[in-house]
Amino acid sequence: MSIVGLIPARGASRGLSRKNLRPINGVPLIAWSIRAAQESAALNRIIVTTDDPEIADVALSYDAEVPFMRPAALATDETPGIAPVLHAIDQLPEASQILLLQPTSPLRTSGDIRGIISFCTEAQAPCAVSVTRSHEHPEWMFRKTPTGCFAVDENFSVGTHRQHLSETFTINGALYLADSSWLRAKGAFITPSTLMYEMPPERSLDIDSEFDLRVAELLLTEETRSEEHTSELQSPCNLVCRLL
């Protein structure tokens, strides 16, 4: 079985200009996904599909592969998200599974990558997509009437407590794993047979704005400091010094 990690990164972006190359703690956004994929040691290849030469050069500098460029027709605002994935599958006949890793999920870890692969394998499922629990419940979301009022029927009640509501989940954009042949046949990751792979909210940030970028930078800075602190604690010299 050959599992290919596929990182889609077009040059243009609708909300945040050149976001796939924007630095977080001095590292281009796309590189966080490349690093997580490499550290997982669970993928046979890590491939970036892009239409942009600069993104391709950055991907190569972080030791990802760019064996083909994405056609311009598959890199527009109107291009369906599945289109570049199906294009990539056509270039990768050896791939039995595709793991889509969107570069806008820099908080996703190598453990998450290994986790969804094990989860799908154990369940013998053709596809799994990462989700996180919804922060706001859809039963507490409202449409507005033309006159500015709540669009609810006369039987609506706001008396339901959160703990009595059914669990709901949001796709977090971090991990999309599918058998290549299944994905070709279905033409979509989300189907009635797709399993949900749950991730915690602290690793489910999907970057789409300057605010998201700053939040990711703060979280990753804190994570780095925590790792450095843990490393110091684990040093034999430091452990002895702290015990004295």
pLDDT greater than 50 at residue 236: no
**Which helix (H) or strand (E) covers residue 86, if one does?**
helix 83-91
Task: Note the pLDDT of residue 241.
Answer: 42
Confidence label for 152 from pLDDT (cuts 50, 70 and 90): confident
pLDDT greater than 80 at residue 177: yes
CA distance 165 to 153: 19
Task: Note the pLDDT of residue 143.
Answer: 87
Least confident of 40-49, 108-117, 127-136, 224-233: 224-233
Task: Note the pLDDT of residue 163.
Answer: 67
- How far is C-alpha 34 from the chain's CA centre? 12
Confidence label for 140 from pLDDT (cuts 50, 70 and 90): confident
Task: Note the pLDDT of residue 231.
Answer: 45
CA distance 177 to 38: 16
Task: Note the pLDDT of residue 29.
Answer: 97
pTM of the model: 0.85
CA distance 82 to 85: 5
Q: Secondary structure of the chain: what % helix, strand, coil (to 5)?
A: 40, 20, 40
Nearest to 48 by CA among 142, 158, 40, 32: 32
Least confident of 8-12, 45-49, 61-65, 195-199: 8-12
Task: Note the pLDDT of residue 235.
Answer: 45
Task: Note the pLDDT of residue 146.
Answer: 92
Find residue 3's DSSP bridge partners: 97
Between 41 and 160, name the one with better pLDDT. Answer: 41
Q: Can you read off the two tokens belonging to residue 207?
A: 């970057």
CA torsion sign for 76, 78, 79, 80 is: positive
Task: Note the pLDDT of residue 159.
Answer: 58
Confidence label for 227 from pLDDT (cuts 50, 70 and 90): low
Q: What is the arithmetic mean of pLDDT over 182-198?
A: 97
Task: Note the pLDDT of residue 46.
Answer: 98
pLDDT greater than 90 at residue 181: yes
